[in-house]
Chains A and B, each alone.
Chain A
Amino acid sequence: NAGVMQNPRHLVRRRGQEARLRCSPMKGHSHVYWYRQLPEEGLKFMVYLQKENIIDESGMPKERFSAEFPKEGPSILRIQQVVRGDSAAYFCASSPLDRGPYEQYFGPGTRLTVT
């Protein structure tokens, strides 16, 4: 049973470009969460999605950030017009249908560097 998959693992973007981060949850998991981790900081919740639904996006910046989890394919976190302050590690996590927000298993993360 493959774990949570994220790609790319490392992403370099120039200021003003777009960043697309992908997350495939564990098999059988229907809940996806995105977190951001700044250097030497804890993980900060961004958004919680189920298939075709954004359940809670209260942690997402109001501008430039969006997320989706389509019926088919991975969940995508999209950052438009990136700025240096977006440089961070972005982790997604998934949990099983019957566990709700509990037992979240994390992917390896995407390390975004904005130059």
Chain B
Amino acid sequence: GENVEQHPSTLSVQEGDSAVIKCTYSDSASNYFPWYKQELGKRPQLIIDIRSNVGEKKDQRIAVTLNKTAKHFSLHITETQPEDSAVYFCAATPWGNNRLAFGKGNQVVVIP
């Protein structure tokens, strides 16, 4: 099955700087890659997703890039703010599959 790994496990950034989190996946058939943000004790929230027919997608301060050849995709957060502090999970799923395979998460800490 699909195996998703995230790096780094913890990332500290100064407020206003950019944060980048990278995920790698194993199944070349995967074609859907969402990112979820989970604050402590809260539900995972879908913040952005990308399909394999595009290489980049942007939504305000958040962007995701996909490299299908290298089988990795990254989340970019610009102009970070304290409320961006959370655990971010990436996931992947192949076409026709029913489940999301999640990475273990990245703790992002934005230092005011």
Contact = CB atoms under 8 A, between A and B. Distances in A.
Contact of A43 (B42, B93, B102): B102
Main secondary structure of the interface of B (DSSP, over half): strand
Contacts of A52: none
Nearest to B99: A45
B25 interface: no
B103 to A, nearest CB: 6
Nearest to A108: B43
Interface in B58-108: 89, 91, 93, 97-105
Given A43-B44, A91-B43, A91-B44, A104 B104 contact: no
Given A41-B104, A42-B104, A56 B46 contact: no
Contacts of B103: 42
Interface in A1-56: 4, 33, 35, 40-45, 48, 55-56
Contacts of B101: 45
Contact of B99 (A4, A42, A59, A107): A59
Interface of A: 4, 33, 35, 40-45, 48, 55-56, 58-59, 91, 100-109
Interface of B: 4, 32, 34, 36, 42-46, 49, 89, 91, 93, 97-105
Given A42-B105, A106-B45, 14 more contacts: A33-B99, A40-B104, A43-B89, A45-B101, A101-B98, A102-B34, A102-B93, A103-B46, A104-B34, A105-B46, A106-B43, A107-B43, A108-B43, A109-B43
